[in-house]
Amino acid sequence: MSEQLSKFQEYLQSQRLKLTRSRKLVLEAAFSLHEHFDAESLHERIKGLNVSLATVYRTLPLLQEAGLVQLALRKDGRDFFEHILGHPKHLHWLCESCQRVYETELEELIPILENKAKSQRFTINTINIHISGICWKCRKNENDSQ
């Protein structure tokens, strides 16, 4: 059994919730996609397997609470998630011009954030950093056309 599945099962048991066929499929879908996904892309991924979109929406918070998935960013009025197994956390860079999303490591920021957390006795669960601006490709195009 995959690491993520047993982690999910463990979480569900701790909450007296059930490990169902639909939930397994949603979990698998989430880990089969190696980019940001929203509820609809998960649903699309398991289309034909008789799992309703409502169930995908209902499963997403469970995956978050289980520490398997986290909200990555909001784009075009929709929530996008990413799975986290042991993945280093990362920054998200959003280009306001082309809407592309880039990622970089955030390792070096963690100690600083943990320090701040400590001083106000805050227990960190997830860290989410978004930087909006213009990426080099778009900056380049702007210059080209001037």
Partner DNA sequence: ATGTTGTTGCAAATGATTCTCAATAACAAG
Partner DNA sequence: CTTGTTATTGAGAATCATTTGCAACAACAT
Per CB under 7 A, residues contacting DNA are 12-13, 16-23, 38-40, 50-55, 57-60, 77-79
Select 24 or 106, whichever has its Cβ closest to DNA. Answer: 24
CB of 96 to DNA, least distance (A): 14
Rank residues 21 and 74 by Cβ distance to its own copies and give the closer one. 74
Please provide residue 145's backbone torsions phi and psi, each rounded to the nearest 5 degrees.
Answer: -90, 5
Single-letter code of the amino acid located at 51:
V
CB 64, min distance to DNA, A: 11
Q: Does 102 bind its own copies (CB under 8 A)?
A: yes
CB of 144 vs DNA, minimal distance in Å: 26
Specify the DSSP class assigned to residue 43.
H
99 lies in the site for its own copies, by CB under 8 A: no
Specify the DSSP element, H or E, that contains 95. strand 90-95
Q: Are strands 90-95 and 101-105 parallel, antiparallel or unpaired?
A: antiparallel
136 interacts with its own copies by CB under 8 A? yes
Helix (H, G, I), strand (E, B) or coil at 2: coil
Pick the closer one to its own copies by CB: 34 or 120.
120
For the stretch 79-98, what's the b/e string if a residue is b when 16 or more beta carbons lie within 10 angstroms of its beta carbon? ebbbbbeeeebbebbbbeee
Contact 82/101 with Cβ under 8 angstroms? no
Nearer to DNA, 41 or 97 (CB): 41
Binding site for its own copies (CB under 8 A): 74, 91, 93, 95-96, 102, 104, 108-109, 112-113, 116-117, 120-136, 139
